[in-house]
Structure 1
Amino acid sequence: MRIGQAQATQEPRPDRESVDLSGFPDLVVVYLGFRVGTWRGLKALFGIGRGLVGIQRDMPDGLLAHENLVFGLNHIGMRQYWRDFESLEAFTRSEPHRTWWRDFGRDRSGTAFWHEAYRLSGGMEAIYVGLPRPIGLARFAGARKPLGPFLSSRQRLAG
């Protein structure tokens, strides 16, 4: 080898893996986001953060995994994997989620919220509340008000 000539080193090939989802035919993946728009919203975020720590510590029935995400300086989120939609729905109707959603509906405290749900068996749905501009599915799909038969996540997944 000449001086100054780099020696070519060959890195070992990384192991490639995939996943076997056959044991989870009713899997639901949910992305959630929480965007802070005011100082008051920052306080609301810290309050929700305590609840999220509890969810991760005491995993509700059906929650297979929970991962925290950061979308930006004022936009955090999470990805959750649920065994089935029934488990996810039962959680959303129990505490602390039920109270958080009710309170959020009354006073957003300078925040915005969204979620998108994807079922392995088919179907996707989303809700966006108070965002300054479209994100996710809303960037290309037409808007529709979540009213009447389109009010609940279950009904939106059914189409």
Structure 2
Amino acid sequence: MMSEVIPERVTADVDGDFVVFRIGMRANALWKVHRWLPVFLAMPRMLSELEADPESGLLGYQTDFGVRHVTMTQYWRSFEDLREYARDPDGEHLPAWQRYNQEFGSTDDVGIWHETFLVREDEYEAVYNNMPPYGLGDVAELIPASGREETAAGRLGRSSGEDAAVTESGTVVTDE
């Protein structure tokens, strides 16, 4: 189901620190479906498990599909929550991780990767204009991007927000 477009300029506001975790899979040998499909199918089981447990720490996620790859961006309450889930012997992830290493890790048929970013409170910025909730804006509180929140530097606390390079009418502002 498609979310409603928010017909204004807004920014994401998260209370406290959080984690951005990007994870992906790449089918290096597309014709070897039997090699990459089990890896691909493991993620929906993990997501179902996480969504069923509001205390897991997963705040939300988005998935992007390409011809050879799948990339997921996840937002977590803390690194500890993410790590606890990854190492839970009773969860879906640890057996899938072990299976990948045992069955697929030594071949080049399918690759996996991840990146983890620890984000401190007030050390991020985002803006969405005429968009449905997306990315961080899908898991955070959305507030108007006005006043100090008008510019990237303002959202990061490095200006008053009066340093907009382009006005609402599209006029470019210069220092001259």
Taking structure 1 as the reference length, the TM-score comes to 0.59
Q: Secondary structure at the match of 1:29?
A: strand
Specify whether residues 53 and 121 from structure 1 end up closer, same or farther in structure 2 by C-alpha distance, changes over 3 A only: closer
Q: 108-117 or 83-92: which moved more?
A: 108-117
Displacement of 1:24 after TM fit?
Answer: 2.6
Cα deviation, 1:44-75, whole Å, max 9, x if unaligned, reads: 145314414524542461100021111x2120
Q: Which amino acid aligns with 2:58?
A: L
Aligned pairs for 1:110-121 (under 5 A) are: 110-121=109-120
* Residue in 2 that maps onto 1:63: 58
Q: Distance in 2 between matches of 1:83 and 1:53?
A: 16
Specify whether residues 85 and 57 from structure 1 end up closer, same or farther in structure 2 by C-alpha distance, changes over 3 A only: closer
Specify whether residues 77 and 30 from structure 1 end up closer, same or farther in structure 2 by C-alpha distance, changes over 3 A only: same
Q: Give aligned-pair identity as a percent.
A: 25
Is it true that 1:35 corresponds to 2:26 in the alignment? Answer: yes
Aligned pairs for 1:45-124 (under 5 A) are: 45-55=39-49, 57-59=51-53, 61-70=56-65, 72-94=66-88, 95-108=91-104, 110-121=109-120
Q: Distance in 1 between matches of 2:116 and 2:50?
A: 19
2:50, 2:58 within 8 Å by CA — same for their partners in 1? no
Q: Distance in 1 between matches of 2:44 and 2:60?
A: 18
Specify whether residues 57 and 46 from structure 1 end up closer, same or farther in structure 2 by C-alpha distance, changes over 3 A only: same
2:63, 2:72 within 8 Å by CA — same for their partners in 1? yes
Specify whether residues 57 and 83 from structure 1 end up closer, same or farther in structure 2 by C-alpha distance, changes over 3 A only: closer
Name which structure has the greater RCO, CA cutoff 8 Å, separation 6+.
2
Q: Secondary structure at the match of 2:8?
A: coil
For structure 1, which runs of at least 5 residues remain unmatched after alignment? 1-13, 123-159
Taking structure 2 as the reference length, the TM-score comes to 0.53
Q: Distance in 2 between matches of 1:49 and 1:31?
A: 13
* Residue in 2 that maps onto 1:142: none
Q: Distance in 2 between matches of 1:24 and 1:41?
A: 41
Q: Secondary structure at the match of 2:10?
A: coil
Q: Distance in 1 between matches of 2:40 and 2:87?
A: 22
Q: Distance in 2 between matches of 1:20 and 1:47?
A: 33
CA RMSD of aligned residues (A): 2.2
Give structure 1 regions of 4+ aligned residues with deviation exceeding 3 angstroms.
none
